[in-house]
Amino acid sequence: MSGSVRAVRADITTLAVDVVVNAANTSLLGGGGVDGAIHRAAGPGLLEECRGLGGCATGEAKATAGHDLPARWVVHTVGPVWHGGDRGEPDLLASCYRRSLEVAHGLGARSAAFPAISTGVYGYPPDQAATLAVDTVRATLPATDLDEVVLVAFSPADLDRYQRLLGG
């Protein structure tokens, strides 16, 4: 049986899931938006652990402990910067979702929460990003042991977009 996918509007740092996915930058040393919020909520131990990871390539994912978060682990993934869509952005963004689920599965996670990767300062068009997120998660989830994936919306418009795509 395949796990479920649902959308919520929430603060991703407060969710009681096994894995919180972080929309990180390549250094993994914190930044703005979701990345900064996760680092602040997780406490200084997260930054210390990230220093030992040697960064992360765009489209890849690496795991750390959750530290002070309710989540057991943080899976850090680096989304692409939007340059119009003709520089491999869709493939790289799909890889973020796929690789994050694979890493979560490897950790033994049963639940994971994703932010809208690359849609903030990286400029990925929200409609295209949401469609790609839903399609990739639905395609990848059956190959994992995860029971639930939560797509976390930042705004009411983001939540509406996800719910339309999920048929809810």
The model's pLDDT over 25-84, given as tens digits with 9 standing for 90+, comes to 999 999 999 999 999 999 999 999 999 999 999 999 999 999 999 999 999 999 999 999
pLDDT of amino acid 20: 98
* Beta bridge partners of residue 62, listed in sequence order: 76
35 is catalytic: yes
The domain segmentation of the chain, as residue ranges, is 4-166
pLDDT of 1 over the 70 cut: no
Are 54 and 90 a contacting pair, CB within 8 Å? no
Distance CA 65, CA 131 (A): 29
CB 118 within 8 A of CB 22: no
4-166 is classed CATH 3.30.2130.30:
no
- The three-class DSSP label of residue 34 is helix
| pLDDT beyond 80 at 12 | yes
- Tell me which amino acid residue 38 is: I
- Rounded Cα distance between 150 and 15, Å, is 10
Which pTM value belongs to this model? 0.97
H or E element at residue 140 = helix 126-140
The catalytic position among 11, 35, 145, 158 is: 35
Query: Which band of pLDDT confidence, cut at 50, 70 and 90, is reported for residue 122?
Result: very high
